Amino acid sequence: MLAKRMAIIMFLCSLLSVLLAGCWDEKNIEEHGFVVGTAIDQVDGQTKENLMIALTNQFVIPAGIGTPAEGGGEQKAFLNLTVHGESMFNIGRNMASQTSRVPFYEHLKVLIVSEELADTPELLATLVDFFIRDHEMRRGVNIYISEGKAKEILEIEPKPERIPAMFLNTVTDNEQEALEMISSVQIGDLHGFLLQPFSYVLPKIAAEEDKSKVHDDKTAVFRGYNNQMVGTLTGEETKGLNLLTEKNKSGSIVFEIDNKPMAYEVTGTNLKMDIDTTDPGNLEVSINIKANGGIAEMFGDRSLLDEAYIAKIEDKVAEEIEQLANQTIKKVQHELNTDVLEIGKTLKQKHYALWEKIKDNWENGENYFSKANIHVSAEVNVRQTGVTDRAKNREHRK
């Protein structure tokens, strides 16, 4: 009896070990091809009707990275692999036949889409669908629009970082303190942008000629209702946008006082938008920007411990902020007719009934957005002047 029982138990155990140990998803870490950056381009010489996409994956070669002490030797730390195809799925299949390592996207850091693809309506949404849908991707992948070929950005040779995608990721993170660029946009945010009717902006980057670095002080403007890229804001215009929408709250503003340049460092802004909706065809939008910050650098030599002088500086900075903001408003409202100032969003949040009525005629049809009157006023506080009053003394030179 006991022996029979033992036999049954042994049989069940061996059956279970066969069933449970065979893990279908077992994959060794050496077999993964870690993708850290992906670039999407249009294949040259193809028409939009018959679209061919070129997808470039940047794989990490662990041997090339080495340790900080010994360096990585001469071997490159990354491998760029480009595959053509009509859809992401197709491309994925082609990619598998070209590399021994299966692309593994869990550590994907950056996704770059070229400008020429982004300016086709709705195409951006189609291209990033795979990246939003696949469970391997995280919603924290940074997305950029490239000026020229997206692939070129993954080919830069940065120093001291060895992998271009990682370089891009760190550089854009570091530059959170520059008003010339908007803070990085993640694919999760983009998912929200694509699903909503509001217009939005994405950071735009370009590789420098000598491949040593990237320029990242431009902004790509997308129209919300068809997800088409309609224009680009320059660094100066992006400053205005950042001040108007708080996409990036800190950075410096250079202005002239007594014919000498001075840098004001914004450490935080406080934004207030009031919309007078009495006449929907002529919305009165007033935006008040309160900036806090300090003096970062001065060329002049007047003492800053002087109430009147500080007040004068504050006025000058406010003037500069208003000018930057107005320049941006002029461009997005009249040239691009794209509401990246988030006025539509504010309307939805605070004047829901009106928004429901006019939302289909916001940036097209009746064009309520371009008919709105937008007024900007700025208030500036100088809170810090640095650790010293003056760094130069005129009296000595007498």
Note the residues at the interface with another protein (CB under 8 A).
19-20, 23-25, 135, 138-140, 188, 191-192, 195-196, 345, 348-350, 352
Ordered DSSP codes for 42-103 = EPTT--STT--EEEEEEEE-HHHH-BTTTB-TTS-SEEEEEEEESSHHHHHHHHHHH-SSEE
- Nearest to another protein of 20, 308 (CB atom): 20
- Nearest to another protein of 48, 139 (CB atom): 139
Identify which of 138, 143, 168 has the alpha carbon closest to the alpha carbon of residue 78. 168
Q: Is 233 helix (H, G, I), strand (E, B) or coil?
A: strand
* Least distance (Å) between residue 162 CB and another protein: 19
- Six-digit token pair at 338? 């794209």
Instruction: Count each helix (H run) and each strand (E run) in the chain, helices first.
Output: 13, 14
* Least distance (Å) between residue 99 CB and another protein: 19
Rg of the Cα trace of the chain? 27
- Nearest to another protein of 19, 69 (CB atom): 19
* Least distance (Å) between residue 250 CB and another protein: 17
166, 306, 338, 390 from 293: Cα distances, Å: 31, 17, 30, 18
* Least distance (Å) between residue 25 CB and another protein: 5
Point out which residues pair with 42 in neighbouring strands: 53
Residues in the chain: 398
* Least distance (Å) between residue 59 CB and another protein: 20
- Nearest to another protein of 315, 356 (CB atom): 356
Point out which residues pair with 269 in neighbouring strands: 291
Q: How many other CB atoms are found less than 10 A from the CB of residue 174?
A: 9
- Nearest to another protein of 135, 398 (CB atom): 135
* Least distance (Å) between residue 241 CB and another protein: 17
* Least distance (Å) between residue 92 CB and another protein: 13
Contact between residue 92 and residue 103 where contact means Cβ atoms under 8 Å apart? yes
67, 79, 114, 172 from 92: Cα distances, Å: 32, 17, 19, 28
